[in-house]
Structure 1
Amino acid sequence: MSEATQQPARPRISGWKATIAVAMSNYIEAGSIIALATSLTFWQDYFGFSNLMVGLVAAVSANAFGAAVGALIGGQLGDRFGRKFIYTYDLIVYMLGTLLVVFAAHPAMLLTGVVLTGIAVGAGVPVAWTYIAEEAPATDRAKHVGSAQLAWSLGPALVFLFATIVVPLGLLGSRIIFAHLFVVAFVTWWVRRGLAESDTWKKSNAERLASEASTGIRRRNYRELLLNRGNLKALLFLTGVYALWNLVAGQMGIFMPRVYETAGVESGTHQNLLQVLLWTCTVAATYWGFMKYGDRVSRRKLYIVGAVLGIAAWVLLVFAHITMPLLIVFAVLWGVSAGIGAQAFYALWAAEMFATRYRASAQGVLFFVARILVGVLSYWFPTMLAEQGVPFVGSVMIALLVAALIIGAVGAPNTSGRTLEEIEAERYGTAPGEAPADASSTTPTAGTR
């Protein structure tokens, strides 16, 4: 083909435009969870579901098992074939799932659609956190990674607002909300076609291919990841930080309207407005807290502040007399806590604490574990809430949050302002740019305080 007839290359999307395009995975994920949360009662009435069936739908969704399976698949594929590979296909699967939910006329259509959306976001979100961290400047990594948390917070804030507006439409309104997610996914997929591959991944992949060619031994990411003692320590630490916190956040994301109802707030509009307030506070805290100060102040102290606020919120809900003013305080406390809390730090630390060649795989494993645990609890949560009430489930939430606080405060890594290559070299005892050793006895020796 002559130069005159060649199509001009699409301009590379980079910098903040690339960060925002990738961060939209988090808006889509959170939006899916809240769209299902605000529609569960409508689907239950429409199909005649029991509470256990409601729990099953929640358990296989983007909030739990569906995302867990997607993360395990997406992490491995993202490390093997590139970050961009995931973005070529994940949202196509997501759009198919949302269309099935929009037009669901049978429980099987609803379940299939929910599972597909869950798998798609599970594949996309860990790779999104990985890509953003790899492309971000070392001195602004928390700010860029925080943009994913910002998008994740905007999803619930806007979807709960939409749900409040369309309450009079009943199930039709819920279908419209899922249709809006389809449109957002399509626009995001279209924009992402201009994304370039991560330079960090390209360099690491070239080293991997050269090593495989010279040794004849194919690298197996999960094997190397799980046989390295230092990696196992990092996986356990991040599981304690994120999975325990996410057990609480996962139930709140999908079942919080039911918690409000059990606490005496019967109006669906009031339930949704409380959630709009909560997530608006999360948006504000993410931007003015984590993104503004995550690269400038002690991350350990910022993490502790967020964790303590989350515990305080649930202590109020469990041990104080429940009134609307108290629920407003609860929403504000938890909203601020979520903005500067475990998920934002998890996304940052998970990118920093693992070698490039299995960075996405590590996040896939962590996301898998976290969402499996959420799925198990989600299956029983509606029944526990109905039979035991808010004080019982609230006490369980407090215990999980306290454990996450202690683990995060003790193990917070000191990685601020350093490049991923510098962190990797120090943790794995290699020269910058050199692949970490494969020996299962190798233990990262630095990077934590």
Structure 2
Amino acid sequence: MKNTTAGRGDGSAAGKRRFMIRMVTVLIGGMFLDGYILGIIGPVSATMAEDLQISALWEGMIAAAALIGVLLGSPIGGWAADRWGRKPLFTFDIALFTVASGMQVFIDSPMWLLVVRVLMGIAIGIEYSVGWPLMSEFSPTHLRGRLLGAMQIAWYGGFMTAFLIGYLLNEYTSLSWHLILATSTILSVVLFLGRLGLPESPRWLWSRGRKDEARALARKYLASDVLADVEHEDVAKGTFSMLFNKQHWRSTLFISGFWFCAVTPYFAIATFADSVLHQYGLGGGLAGGVGLSAVALTGVVLTFFLIDRVGRRVLTVPPQWLCAVVLAVIGLWTGAPAAVVLALFLVFSFFNAMYNALTGVYPPEVLPTEIRGIGTGFATSVSRVGAGIGTFLMPVSMSGLGAGPTMLIAAVVAVAGAGLSQWLAPETKGMSLTEAAAELTH
């Protein structure tokens, strides 16, 4: 029998608190890495394209490569996490990321860079399908929303930090773009060491019928309210087809569609912030990219403080309608003053980030343990289709259709997400995981 009780913790309140700090830190670090590898590509893309002598098409493919990897890795990782447990995948994904990230130093062709970035994305995809379920399964009920939201803060923080570091290193040092891209390796090594010895999820063990092991780990690591809720879990084996059965199709539709519509405009605008702002006659560079990301980070932080007070739904539905209106105004008002356009982009970044924070909260809450991994992985994959579309097509659309029509397309996507959320977004504030997972099953 595998040793599932590894990890530090003595069952005392202080021991549980130390364990949660460690668990939260390494999980948040995984989301920081995802934002980092997506943000670091923007500042060096021009230098990279010139050095490798690649076309705009190749540049877009490389920028979207990590997203493609997430699309592939998240459903596979979710399926594996529900079948074999959270713990093995939790260590494997960061090891794969570390190796692939380090390989960027030696890349000398666009094809190999594409392959390596896809591998990094696969590792991050596995992280999504394991990290968020783990966070939800170990979190106390009264802190679950904030802890899940903190992972989104880390994502935005990683994206902004990477853009800042990439810009400064690219502009003011002689470091090659290879080394700048590979800076993510440093953090991944630290996270790999921090994850060694962490325990398996008691909820997953219980769902597989390993009740004695689950109880032992739950007493050692979980808060009392979570410990009691674990024993309400069904012993069940999850399958991919369960995501679309009569009981769970609403949950699957909501988390996947909401996430798709939330990230598609954001990735398109944030990844190419410099060129988007330039189209509207605004200065880009450090101020453009970091400015939009900083405002987005502020929106996520506000959501972090509000989510367990005002609830999920009020932070999900109204901001989406507002962002749809803002994008439509930008698209239709082609002669707007530059200051007005900048203000509208900042408003979009702020409120889009608010509801984007919920894309990581809802999947682990509205799905039962037996399909929490595969369901989160599937929703992640769908969202990365949207993110990849936005990242890949943004430069093509901006040059072919122009800024106005491109922003109108983004507005249509935002309207679709707002309508879906108006219909299906549940309120799960203060509920146990068992109760939250039943919200959309009727």
Q: What's the TM-score once normalised by structure 2's chain length?
A: 0.84
Deviation at 1:92, TM superposition (A): 1.5
What CA distance in whole angstroms lies between the structure 2 residues aligned with 1:99 and 1:259?
Answer: 31
Shift of 1:42: 1.8
Name 2:8's counterpart in structure 1. 11
Q: Secondary structure at the match of 1:152?
A: helix
Does residue 1:422 correspond to 2:430, yes or no?
no
Equivalent pairs counted in the alignment come to: 406
Of 146, 161, 166, the match for 2:164: 161
Correspondence list, 1:2-401, <5 A: 11-12=8-9, 14-59=19-64, 61-62=65-66, 64-168=67-171, 172=175, 174-206=177-209, 219=237, 221-226=239-244, 228-265=245-282, 270-287=284-301, 289-320=302-333, 321=335, 324-341=338-355, 343-401=356-414
Q: CA deviation at 1:323?
A: 5.0
Deviates more, 1:17-26 or 1:305-314: 305-314
Cα distance change of structure 1 residues 259 and 199 upon mapping to structure 2, 3 Å threshold: same
- The structure-2 alpha-carbon separation of the partners of 1:255 and 1:293, relative to structure 1 and needing over 3 Å to count, comes to same
Pairwise CA distance, 1:22: 0.6
Residue deviations 1:284-336, cap 9 Å, x none?
2222x212111111422222343244335424533444555335423431332
Q: Is the 8 A contact 2:160 2:290 kept in 1?
A: yes
Root-mean-square deviation over aligned CA pairs: 2.6
- Tell me the distance in 2 between the aligned counterparts of 1:149 and 1:203: 28
Is 1:444 equivalent to 2:441 in the alignment?
yes
Distance 1:326 1:166, change over 3 A: farther
Which portions of structure 1, spanning 4 or more consecutive aligned residues, are displaced by more than 4 angstroms? 207-210
Q: Distance in 1 between matches of 2:21 and 2:366?
A: 23
User: What is the SS of the residue equivalent to 2:199?
Assistant: coil
1:338 offset after TM fit, Å?
Answer: 3.3
Uncovered stretches (5+) of structure 1, i.e. residues with no partner? 1-8, 211-217, 428-442
Q: Is the 8 A contact 1:277 1:331 kept in 2?
A: no
SS for the counterpart of 2:39 is: helix
Distance across 2 between alignment mates of 1:382 and 1:252 = 10
Instruction: Judge conservation of contact 1:251–1:381 (CA < 8 Å) in 2.
Output: yes
Kept in 1: contact 2:137–2:203 (CA 8 A): yes
Q: Distance in 2 between matches of 1:238 and 1:328?
A: 31
Moved more, 164-173 or 185-194: 164-173
The alpha-carbon deviation at position 173 of structure 1 amounts to 5.3
Q: CA deviation at 1:38?
A: 2.3
Identity, in percent, stands at 22
Would you say the 8 A contact 1:314–1:397 is kept in 2? yes
Structure 2 unaligned spans of 5+: 1-5, 10-17, 214-235
| TM-score using structure 1 length | 0.83
Bigger mean CA deviation after superposition, 312-321 or 109-118: 312-321
Contact 2:29–2:154 at 8 Å: present in 1 too? yes
Q: How far does residue 132 in structure 1 lie from its aligned partner after superposition?
A: 0.9
Q: Distance in 1 between matches of 2:39 and 2:253?
A: 29
2:208–2:237 contact (8 Å) kept in structure 1: no
